[in-house]
Amino acid sequence: MGLAQRRVCRLSNNQEPTIPPPENVFPANLDVAELLATGWRPSAFRQFILKVHSRCDLACPSCYVYEMADQGWRSQPRQMSPAIVARTALRIAEHARAHRLADIDVILHGGEPLLAGPESLGHIVRTIRGACAEVGTRVRVSVQTNAVRLDETFLRLFNDLEIRVGVSLDGDAVAHDRTRVFANGRGSHEHVSRALRLFEGPFHHLFAGLLCTIDLRNDPVSTYRALLEFDPPGVDFLLPHGNWAAPPPWRDPDSAATPYADWLIRVFDEWREASSFRTEIRLFHEINRLLFKAPSRSESVGLSPSSMVVVETNGAIEQSDILKSAFEGASATGLHVLTAAFDDALRHPAIVARQLGDRALGPECHRCDLMRICGGGLYAHRYRPATGFRSPSVYCPDLYRLISYISDRHARDTARLKGRV
Mean pLDDT of the chain, nearest integer: 92
Give the Cα separation of 210 and 233 in Å (integer).
8
Distances (CA, A) of 139 to 132, 163, 193, 194, 397: 7, 10, 29, 29, 39
Give a yes or no: residue 37 inside a domain.
Answer: no
* Predicted local confidence at residue 65, as pLDDT: 78
Give a yes or no: residue 375 inside a domain.
Answer: yes
What confidence tens digit (pLDDT) does each residue in 152-175 have?
Answer: 999 999 999 999 999 999 999 999
Give a yes or no: residue 325 inside a domain.
Answer: yes
Give a yes or no: residue 235 inside a domain.
Answer: yes
Distances (CA, A) of 9 to 112, 179, 401: 22, 17, 37
Give the Cα separation of 412 and 393 in Å (integer).
28
Distances (CA, A) of 330 to 4, 65, 103, 216, 322: 22, 12, 29, 27, 9
- Check which CATH number belongs to the domain holding 345 and give it: 3.20.20.70
Span 11-28, mean pLDDT? 62
Distances (CA, A) of 163 to 106, 210, 325: 10, 15, 28
Residue 367's Cβ-count burial label (10 Å; 0-12, 13-18, 19+) is: exposed
* Predicted local confidence at residue 359, as pLDDT: 95
How many domains does one find in the chain? Answer: 1
Span 60-86, mean pLDDT? 84
* Predicted local confidence at residue 6, as pLDDT: 31
| pLDDT > 90? residue 415 | no
* Predicted local confidence at residue 9, as pLDDT: 30
Give a yes or no: residue 226 inside a domain.
Answer: yes
Give a yes or no: residue 379 inside a domain.
Answer: yes
Can you give the residue range of the structural domain that contains 343? 3-15+43-420
Which segments of 177-312 are extended strands (E)? Answer: 207-213, 234-238, 280-281, 308-311
Give a yes or no: residue 145 inside a domain.
Answer: yes
- Please tell me whether residue 8 adopts helix, strand or coil conformation: helix
Span 112-136, mean pLDDT? 98
Give a yes or no: residue 164 inside a domain.
Answer: yes
Buried-exposed string 298-336: b where 16+ CB fall within 10 A, e elsewhere: bbbbbbbbbbbbbbbbbbbbbbbbbbbbbbbebbbbebb
Amino acid found at 46: R
- Please tell me whether residue 363 adopts helix, strand or coil conformation: helix
